[in-house]
Structure 1
């Protein structure tokens, strides 16, 4: 499936919830959900009964769009989760959270996951002292993410670091805005993962 390149606010409206795809705009009254919480398109305001399949499909699409993955990437990570011990739903969310682009976003070095992927691909980050430009790379407890020395004067990163200093990060991460670095303290537990979805419905979708 090709990458979606249209207005991201349409995706939030399609799912009927904030997916936080547009950075700081999502926290203001300019958010599309706050202004017009209806599905996009000519018949978006129409409401009908959703089938059991439709409910699970929408939950899967919501989670996929929340993390900004295409269908093949998303399905591949779910397949990885099914081979891990423990609850598949939690393991799946944990894998999604451990992606380098998500960690960069959670640490506050990017205003959205889309921007985080772009910054990672451009080689602005080090992981444990080595350059890593693969957004899908999975981090482990103890890994340290640092903005490269020569990238610290990049205006976008400087602005993001200033904003990050005023925000809290999830309990499984810690950040040092002064050194523009962060560390994975531990793997995230379910109550530390803030996602607007019921992951069990996603598991049921793939298990059908």
Structure 2
């Protein structure tokens, strides 16, 4: 978990504003008064969850090693973060790192979305308003020519944003004085199955 949170602060900060613990309510470049945000469904967020930051991350149990037995990477690393305001705005950043098993290729996929959220009892729906995607391709070996470096970034299209609203069911649990948010698929309103994501909530 510590490594995953380090990934959030060290790499997601390339697309999000920062991992500053101050958790400012708004980003200077975000205009929550624009028509796009005004038309997006929104509600107040429960006091336990906002204003605050939700973080989740995991590291693959599968690792790759070279002929000398040195660890050179994990099959994947993933991290997600929401910065949430009390009045129902969110900024989301996600990182997925995929490393090749037979090569030194590393692909990093960043997603950043901003939008609104609506709580209806145990039902939560996220409504993205704007966002962008970034793909960074690198190699663990500078001499490897089969993994050409690239760094591409593009804004989310209107069609992609229109397809992104996501509904979950949610509940909170406390473990060792830490608050966690568990979210479940829309098909599991009784929350009897496994949680889709588990976020640690910090305020």
- Name the one with the larger strand percent: 2
Task: Compute the TM-score of the two structures, normalised by the length of structure 2.
Answer: 0.24
- Name the one with the larger helix percent: 1
Task: Compute the TM-score of the two structures, normalised by the length of structure 1.
Answer: 0.24
